[in-house]
């Protein structure tokens, strides 16, 4: 049967000859037997992810197996994820190769990625090499600029959803909570974005999200990469999370943020005056990287409309050490294809004769 | 229906409208060639009635009818089976357009008067099977703008605030 979404990305057609050698005509896309399951990578509440290998072309894949028995029909997250990913073709967005239906499961076949940013930061504690921060951040913003241009919000950006290859490619994944910005009327529970990466307006109960939501999350991830610690790491819920944010940005007022007092979770107790501080007061490493604090503070702005866009952030002075060719790379091409662009060894890799890794504990997520 | 997030009044309104228009130009073609075309009216009504009972938004309702039209256009379907198709279109559209807790549950759906009167029951198996067939037919792409996706934007331009009665123009959806 013809499955248009299964075919190789036309942007990678230069590999056509190589692919053709691998291609086995008798093994179809869309069939469970076309993929061999290797090991289990992680298990979630309604899906399990396996590492696998495609018998069609010999590529490593990540198989996200969604259980259907407890659901009424296809889960809405699966519908949205596939619907959105299918029309996103970009080197910094995870590629959905194939969809397989069986009686009790639905399997999404993704390209395989070696690790994710959460795990990478866990293995390299104390902040990342500033060149690598630049490389990861550039790719994150490139992916974000692309989806925002398509009027799609990710809404759940956190280090676990940013997949990283051993070469240093970064791709946005897990679009289960994403939705098309063109239909923003229906918002659902404010349980978007892991609490630490949630912007203040969402914490206050706002439901008319815009791309600012993703920019805030990206800003938090940016500071975390440099500092080696989450920037706003609350432990006891929304109230504390907001307090952590106000401690840095200062408590907003109706003057600095028109409409603030009308937000559902707005609490007048908040109005104990705190003056804004520079971000380097809580994240000292920001001052060691040129322009990093300025970019971070432009992304972490409390009043939503004031934020920098992903597109503008890419042009920020922080990225000026990068090669100008990076801006010419086409949407389907990885920035790592530019000569001289590569991941730098992290400081702890240079010193460690033993692995410091696996500090993060728990089960790993490798796709 | 919720009105708090009014994209058509926001800064991005023109931009979003343009993106919707762009997508609209790439909609799959509809040929009105279903062998059951005479039944379309009945099933569109069924979708409207059920979506009203669950207070689904116009975008979900219109998307459901559009999915039904496109699906009927491509298959020869028995009347009994068309009931399953129509209701599955509605659930699929509401999963895509609505917030999670507004998506009708099968138990509530099956207990509606219009369902029990006709001895209609939509089972989990039927729904799953039909949703997967629908998704495959549409290649998993449900980003299909309908008239309902545009109406608020056009109303905001065409109707002045002083024309409103209880927040709505005299002639409403």
Facing A186 at nearest CB: one of B12, B97, B141: B97
Which of A100, A99, A208, A115 is CA-nearest to residue A155?
A208
- Distance of alpha carbon A317 from alpha carbon A280, whole angstroms: 18
Q: In this structure, is residue A5 part of a structural domain?
A: no
Q: Would you call A83 and B96 a contact, using CB atoms and an 8 Å cutoff?
A: yes
CATH number at residue A231: 1.10.510.10
pLDDT at B37: 95
**DSSP class of A300:** S
Q: Which helix (H) or strand (E) holds A97?
A: strand A96-101
Which of A133, A178, A112, A145 is CA-nearest to residue A292?
A133
Q: Which residues contact A237 (CB under 8 A, 6 or more apart)?
A: A195
Q: In this structure, is residue A36 part of a structural domain?
A: yes
Q: Which residues contact A136 (CB under 8 A, 6 or more apart)?
A: A117, A128, A162, A164, A168, A170, A225
Mean pLDDT in consecutive groups of 10 residues from the start of chain A, 367 residues: 37 44 66 89 82 91 90 90 88 94 90 92 93 96 92 86 93 76 38 73 77 91 95 83 87 83 76 76 90 95 80 95 89 86 82 51 41
Tens of pLDDT, residues A199-222: 888 888 777 667 888 999 999 999
Q: In this structure, is residue A366 part of a structural domain?
A: no
Give Cα separations from A41 to A62, A329, A353 (angstroms): 9, 32, 27
**DSSP class of A213:** H
- CB < 8 Å to B105, chain A: 72
**End position of a domain, from candidates A79, A111, A143:** A111
Q: Are A107 and A119 contained in the same domain?
A: no
A156 is catalytic: yes
pLDDT at B171: 61
Mean pLDDT in consecutive groups of 10 residues from the start of chain B, 173 residues: 49 74 89 95 96 94 97 95 96 90 93 91 94 94 90 83 73 54
CATH number at residue A48: 3.30.200.20
- Distance of alpha carbon A166 from alpha carbon A290, whole angstroms: 27
State the smallest CA–CA distance between residue A189 and chain B in angstroms: 8
Q: Are A88 and A138 contained in the same domain?
A: no
Q: Are A94 and A239 contained in the same domain?
A: no
Q: In this structure, is residue A355 part of a structural domain?
A: no
Give the position of tokens 């937000």. A263
**End position of a domain, from candidates A92, A111, A130:** A111
Q: Would you call A76 and B103 a contact, using CB atoms and an 8 Å cutoff?
A: yes
Q: In this structure, is residue A46 part of a structural domain?
A: yes
- Distance of alpha carbon A346 from alpha carbon A349, whole angstroms: 5
Three-class SS string for A306-340? HCCCHHHHHCCHHHCCCCHHHHHCCCCCCHHHCCC
Facing B140 at nearest CB: one of A68, A99, A150: A99
Q: Are A256 and A329 contained in the same domain?
A: yes
Domain residue limits at A68? 32-111
Active-site entry in A98, A116, A156, A214: A156
Q: In this structure, is residue A367 part of a structural domain?
A: no
- CB < 8 Å to A101, chain B: 132, 136
Three-class SS string for A4-19? HHHCCCHHHHHHHHHH
State the smallest CA–CA distance between residue B132 and chain A in angstroms: 7
- CB < 8 Å to B15, chain A: 151
Given 3-state DSSP classes, what are the helix, strand and coil percentages for chain B, each rounded to the nearest 5?
A: 65, 0, 35
B146: its two tokens: 């309908």
Q: Are A196 and A335 contained in the same domain?
A: yes
Task: Note the ipTM here.
Answer: 0.84
Q: Are A249 and A221 contained in the same domain?
A: yes
Q: Indicate the number of domains in chain A.
A: 2
Q: Are A89 and A216 contained in the same domain?
A: no
Q: Are A119 and A53 contained in the same domain?
A: no
pLDDT at A217: 93
- Distance of alpha carbon A232 from alpha carbon A240, whole angstroms: 10
Q: Are A216 and A131 contained in the same domain?
A: yes
Q: Is the dihedral of CA B122, B123, B129, B131 positive or negative?
A: positive
Q: Are A202 and A65 contained in the same domain?
A: no
**End position of a domain, from candidates A55, A88, A111:** A111
pLDDT at A52: 94
Show the CA angle centred on residue A176, arms to residues A172 and A180, nearest 5°.
85
Q: In this structure, is residue A3 part of a structural domain?
A: no
Q: Would you call A73 and B95 a contact, using CB atoms and an 8 Å cutoff?
A: yes
Q: Are A153 and A259 contained in the same domain?
A: yes
Q: Are A84 and A152 contained in the same domain?
A: no
Q: In this structure, is residue A350 part of a structural domain?
A: no
pLDDT at A63: 93
- CB < 8 Å to A182, chain B: 7, 16, 19-20, 23, 143, 145, 149
State the smallest CA–CA distance between residue B117 and chain A in angstroms: 23
Q: Would you call B143 and A180 a contact, using CB atoms and an 8 Å cutoff?
A: yes
């Amino acid at each position: 049967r013809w499955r248009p979404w299964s075919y190789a990305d036309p942007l990678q057609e230069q590999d056509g000859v190589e692919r053709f050698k691998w291609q086995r005509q008798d093994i179809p896309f869309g069939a469970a037997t076309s993929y061999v399951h290797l090991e289990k990578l992680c298990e979630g509440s309604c899906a399990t992810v396996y590492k696998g290998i495609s018998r069609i072309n010999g590529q490593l894949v990540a198989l996200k197996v969604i259980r259907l028995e407890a659901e009424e029909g296809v889960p809405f997250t699966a519908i949205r994820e596939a619907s959105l990913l299918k029309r996103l073709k970009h080197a910094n967005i995870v590629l959905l190769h194939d969809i397989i239906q069986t009686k009790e499961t639905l399997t999404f076949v993704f390209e395989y990625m070696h690790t994710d940013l959460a795990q990478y930061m866990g293995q390299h504690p104390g902040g990342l090499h500033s060149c690598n921060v630049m490389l990861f951040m550039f790719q994150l913003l490139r992916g974000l600029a692309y989806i925002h241009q398509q009027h799609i919000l990710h809404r759940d950006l956190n280090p676990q959803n940013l997949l990283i290859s051993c070469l240093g490619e970064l791709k946005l994944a897990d679009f289960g909570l994403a939705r098309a910005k063109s239909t923003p009327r229906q918002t659902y529970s404010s349980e978007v974005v892991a609490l630490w990466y949630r912007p203040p307006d969402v914490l206050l109960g706002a439901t008319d999200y815009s791309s600012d939501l993703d920019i805030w999350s990206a800003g938090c991830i940016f500071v975390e990469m440099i500092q080696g610690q989450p920037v706003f790491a609350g432990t006891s819920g929304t109230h504390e999370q907001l307090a952590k944010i106000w401690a840095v940005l200062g408590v907003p007022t109706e003057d600095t943020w028109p409409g603030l007092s009308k937000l559902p979770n707005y609490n007048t107790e908040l109005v104990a005056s705190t003056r804004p501080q520079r971000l380097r007061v809580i994240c000292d490493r920001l001052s060691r990287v040129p322009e990093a604090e300025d970019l971070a503070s432009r992304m972490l702005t409390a009043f939503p409309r004031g934020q920098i866009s992903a597109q503008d952030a890419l042009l920020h002075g922080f990225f000026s050490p990068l090669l100008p060719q990076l801006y010419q790379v086409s949407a389907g091409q990885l920035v790592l294809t530019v000569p001289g662009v590569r991941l730098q060894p992290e400081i702890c890799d240079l010193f460690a004769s033993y692995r410091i890794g696996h500090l993060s504990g728990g089960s790993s997520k490798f796709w | 229906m919720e009105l708090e997030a009014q994209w058509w009044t926001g800064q991005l309104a023109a931009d979003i409208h343009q993106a919707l228009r762009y997508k609209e130009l790439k909609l799959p073609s509809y040929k009105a060639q279903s062998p059951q075309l005479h039944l379309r009216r009945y099933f569109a009504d069924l979708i409207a009635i059920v979506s009203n009972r669950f207070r689904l938004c116009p975008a979900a309702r219109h998307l459901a009818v559009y999915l039904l039209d496109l699906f009927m256009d491509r298959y020869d379907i028995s009347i009994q089976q068309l009931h399953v198709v129509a209701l599955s279109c509605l659930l699929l559209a509401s999963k895509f357009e609505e917030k999670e807790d507004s998506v009708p549950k099968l138990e509530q759906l099956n207990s509606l008067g219009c369902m029990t009167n006709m001895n209609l029951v939509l089972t989990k198996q039927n729904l799953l099977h039909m949703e997967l067939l629908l998704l495959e037919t549409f290649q998993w792409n449900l980003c299909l703008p309908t008239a309902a996706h545009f109406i608020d934007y056009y109303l905001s331009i065409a109707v002045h605030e002083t024309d409103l009665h209880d927040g709505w123009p005299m002639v409403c959806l």
